[in-house]
Amino acid sequence: MADRTERQARATIHAGGEWLEAVSGATRDILDPADARPFAVVAEGDEKDAERAVAAARQAFDHGPWPGTPVAERAALLRRVAGLLVRDRERLGLLESRDAGKTAEEGRVDIDCVADAFRYFADLVAAEAPGRVVDAGSPDVHSVVVHEPVGVCALITPWNYPLLQASWKIAPALAAGNTFVIKPSEITPMTTIALLELLTEAGLPDGVANLVTGPGHTVGARLAEHPGVDLVSFTGGLASGTKVAQAAAPTVKKVALELGGKNPNVVFADACATEEGFDTAVDQALNAAFIHSGQVCSAGGRLIVEESVRDRFVAELARRAQRIRLGRGTEDGVECGPLVSEQQRAKVEAYVASALAEGAVLRCGGRRPEPAPERPESGYFYEPTVLDACHREMRVVREEVFGPVLTVETFRTEEEAVLLANDTEYGLAGAVWTADAGRARRVAGRLRHGTVWINDFHPYLPQAEWGGFGRSGTGRELGPAGLAEYRETKHVYQNLAPKPVRWFAG
């Protein structure tokens, strides 16, 4: 966006191959959460902007070339996009850091993962068979099951991983031959805008990719209910996801929901029997809870540790959490950035206050840090916080905090550990740490979560489906299931020697 004029910078709505201002002319300042100062201006779209974007996507799907483009050509375009992402890795990583508050290194890693997603779905569709032959029991019948694109897809993405979450939707949608309208979070839209520019550069036909910058209650709501939309894919909070499902119900469109998590990190004493094992488990507990300031749907914000090692484990965890270097994500040496907004920080503060009122013991953090050159007072910073002596009746344990807050619960038996880990309305992800291979398999098998890590936390594979149980959502992203979300299945039955059936007289 840096090479645009001021007027062009406000034209961040993309419809039918054109960059447009909002119909209303409204704009929004995009703030750097490290200092709360605006660094960009974008169009503030509304229902009218959603209408013209859907119309462009509908026209491109019904009358454009993309749905009928050979799979090999679609795959080649996705690979070109991956190459452009690699080319622009530094620029996009820094932009993601400034937009979302994460460290620059996290931003760069995100761009690597985005490129991986485009390559994976390119390879997946390129390697597929054209259809699955069904034996009809007759040599005169040819029967095949084929996959076709759904149509126009509305893609609604969250603020914590703007470009990564966009890629998990855009790459399979394009691979399957769909057109789409994407609505990024209104507070972190910058890298999604940049990705749309790269799609154009890669040669995607006009109207296939469309974007509306604007709030969820107007743009998102209209996309979810729009009769011209065939599928809506939403990643975000439970309350908003429920509204999306309700809005989509009257038109019976396909709905994929990736919602919240309250993820257990279960540590058995035998995982800490050696100094190396203890250090690794503590290090990974820090990673699980505090990467991107805990603003991760899969964050391991619930430490469930065996009672016999609890005191030593929590003491070391708190000691190291206090040493995490907070600051602007683009500064050298910074390990954790700010929260994304003042609203998010206030929410985290309210959760910590309620936990302390309910009897939790503060081991570290629990406050805003002192200002520093790399940490302006105006930024939305909050110290990594460890709350000990927590129990399942506390709001901070039951509800998704989405901030740098780690709660500690203890157990004595394997059965109790499983019961605690599964005692949640969510079921997105979880981990188990143990040196006992049999126990690892038993506990992993009993955890009701969409992803279970054993002796690790946070890695994901593009080839593996990502999604949750319970209130963590109904969709699946990545892997073959992620591609299937963006397809319809058609059975084509061909009678090679048709004959009269004579069911009726005449």
Instruction: Tell me if residue 147 falls in helix, strand or coil.
Output: strand
Active site residue 258: yes
Q: What distance in Å separates the CA atoms of residue 287 and residue 304, rounded to the nearest whole number?
A: 15
Give me 305's structure tokens.
Answer: 């540790």
Rounded (5°) CA angle 74-80-83: 150
H-run or E-run covering 105: helix 104-126
Among 258, 409, 477, 485, which one carries the catalytic annotation? 258
**Do the beta carbons of residue 506 and residue 491 sit within 8 Å?**
no
Which residue shows structure tokens 């126009």?
Answer: 152
Q: What distance in Å separates the CA atoms of residue 132 and residue 408, rounded to the nearest whole number?
A: 50
421 backbone φψ class: left, alpha, beta (φ>0; ψ -120 to 50): alpha
Give me 18's structure tokens.
Answer: 């054109």
Secondary structure, 3-state, 330-370: CCCCCCECCCCCHHHHHHHHHHHHHHHHCCCEEEECCCCCC
Distances (CA, A) of 491 to 131, 133, 143: 10, 10, 7
Q: What distance in Å separates the CA atoms of residue 476 and residue 483, rounded to the nearest whole number?
A: 9
Instruction: Tell me if residue 215 falls in helix, strand or coil.
Output: coil
Among 153, 272, 297, 336, which one carries the catalytic annotation? 297
Q: What distance in Å separates the CA atoms of residue 303 and residue 305, rounded to the nearest whole number?
A: 6
Helix axes 162-175, 89-100, angle to 10 degrees: 120
Give 31's contacts (C-beta < 8 A, 6+ positions apart). Answer: 37, 38, 39, 187, 341
Eight-class DSSP state of 426: E
Distances (CA, A) of 91 to 105, 202, 218, 330: 12, 18, 31, 12
Neighbours of 67 (CB within 10 A): 18
Catalytic residues: 258, 297
